[in-house]
Amino acid sequence: MGNDLKNHLQDLEKELELYNLVFDSFVNGALITDAAGTITHFNKPYGRFLNLNPTDFIGRHCTEAIKTSRMHIVAKTGIPEINTMMKIQGQNILVHRIPIKKNNQVIAVFGLVMFQDITDISRLAEKSSLLESKVQLYEQELRLFRSTRYSFDSIIGKSEDIAILKSEALRATSNSFPVLILGESGTGKELFAQSIHHGGPRGIYPFVRINCAAIPRDLLESELFGYDKGAFTGADTRGKPGKFELAHRGTVFLDEVGDLPLEMQPKLLRVLEEKEFERIGGNKVIKSDFRLVAATNRNLEEMIANKLFREDLYYRMNVIQLPIPPLRERRDDIIPSARHLLDEMGSELSPLEVTMDADVQTALLNYHWPGNVRELSNVLERSLTSLEGSTLHLENLPFNPFRNKSRAILNKQTYLRDVVALAEKEAILYALKKANNNKAKTADLLGIHRTLLYKKMGKYGIGLQQEK
Give me the CATH number covering residue 437.
1.10.8.60
217/130 Cα distance (integer angstroms): 37
Domain count, the chain: 3
Asked if 298 and 169 sit in the same domain, the reply is yes
Pair (318, 353) in one structural domain: no
How does residue 93 score in pLDDT terms, banded at 50, 70 and 90? confident
Residues 20 and 168 grouped into a single domain: no
pLDDT band at 459 (very low <50, low <70, confident <90, very high): confident
Comparing 236 with 28, the larger pLDDT belongs to 28
Q: Note whether residue 289 is domain-resident.
A: yes
Question: Which is more confidently placed, 49 or 257?
Answer: 257
- What pLDDT does residue 128 have? 52
Assign 233 a pLDDT band (cuts: 50, 70, 90): low
Task: pLDDT band for 349, please (50, 70, 90 cuts).
Answer: low
Same domain, 247 and 320: yes
Identify the CATH number of the domain in which residue 9 sits: 3.30.450.20
* 52 and 170 part of one domain: no
Q: Are residues 172 and 194 both part of a single domain?
A: yes
> Among 90-99, 189-198, 242-251, 300-309, which is the least confidently predicted range?
90-99
Whether 126 is covered by a domain: the verdict is no
pLDDT tens for 381-437 read: 888 888 888 888 888 888 655 444 444 444 444 445 566 677 777 778 878 887 888
Greater pLDDT, 234 or 179: 179
| Domain assignment present for 246 | yes
Q: Per the confidence metrics, is the pTM higher than 0.85?
A: no
CA distance 315 to 44: 88
> Poorest-confidence range of 27-31, 195-199, 208-212, 276-280?
27-31
More confident call, 250 vs 125: 250
Q: Are residues 355 and 445 in the same domain?
A: yes
49 pLDDT above the threshold of 70: yes
232 within a domain of the structure (yes/no) = yes
* Residues 84, 98 within the same domain: yes
Domain CATH for 156: 3.40.50.300
Residues 313 and 208 in one domain: yes
Query: 193 and 281 in one domain?
Result: yes
Better-predicted residue by pLDDT, 12 or 109: 109
Cβ atoms 352, 414 nearer than 8 A: no
Indicate whether 444 and 380 sit together in one domain. yes
Structure confidence at residue 425 (pLDDT): 79
Q: Rounded mean pLDDT of 281-298?
A: 92
115, 136, 166 — which closes off a domain? 115
* Residue 16: predicted pLDDT: 66
Instruction: Give me the pLDDT at residue 350, please.
Output: 58
CA-to-CA distance for 150 and 133, rounded, in angstroms? 26
For 150-200, write each residue's pLDDT tens digit.
Answer: 788 888 888 899 999 999 999 999 999 999 999 999 999 999 999 999 899
Q: Which of the residue ranges 255-259, 338-342, 410-414, 444-448 would you say has the lowest mean pLDDT?
A: 410-414
In a domain, 467, yes or no: no
Examine the domain organization and report whether 188 and 220 are in the same domain.
yes
Q: Which of 83-87, 262-266, 459-463 is the most confident on average?
A: 262-266
The answer to whether position 406 is within a domain reads yes
- End position of a domain, from candidates 91, 115, 139: 115
pLDDT at 148: 56
The whole-number pLDDT of residue 103 equals: 84
Given a cut of 80, whether residue 137 has pLDDT beyond it is no
Q: What is the 3-state secondary structure (H, E, C) of the chain?
A: CHHHHHHHHHHHHHHHHHHHHHHHHCCCEEEEEECCCEEEEECHHHHHHHCCCHHHHCCCEHHHHCCCCCHHHHHHHCCCEEEEEEEECCEEEEEEEEEEEECCEEEEEEEEEECCCCHHHHHHHHHHHHHHHHHHHHHHHHHHHHCCCCCHHHCCCCCHHHHHHHHHHHHHCCCCCCEEEECCCCCCHHHHHHHHHHHCHHHHCCEEEEECCCCCHHHHHHHHHEECCCCCCCCCCCCEECHHHHCCCCEEEEECHHHCCHHHHHHHHHHHHHCEEECECCCCEEECCCEEEEEECCCHHHHHHCCCCCHHHHHHHCCEEEECCCHHHCHHHHHHHHHHHHHHHHHHHCCCCCEECHHHHHHHHHCCCCCHHHHHHHHHHHHHCCCCCCEECHHHCCCCCCCCCCHHHHCCCCCHHHHHHHHHHHHHHHHHHHCCCCHHHHHHHHCCCHHHHHHHHHHCCCCCCCCC
pLDDT bracket for residue 76 (50, 70, 90): very high
Q: What is the mean pLDDT of the chain?
A: 82
The answer to whether residue 375 is domain-embedded is yes
Q: pLDDT per residue over 307-336, tens digit each?
A: 999 999 999 999 999 999 999 999 999 999
Range of the domain at 252: 147-325
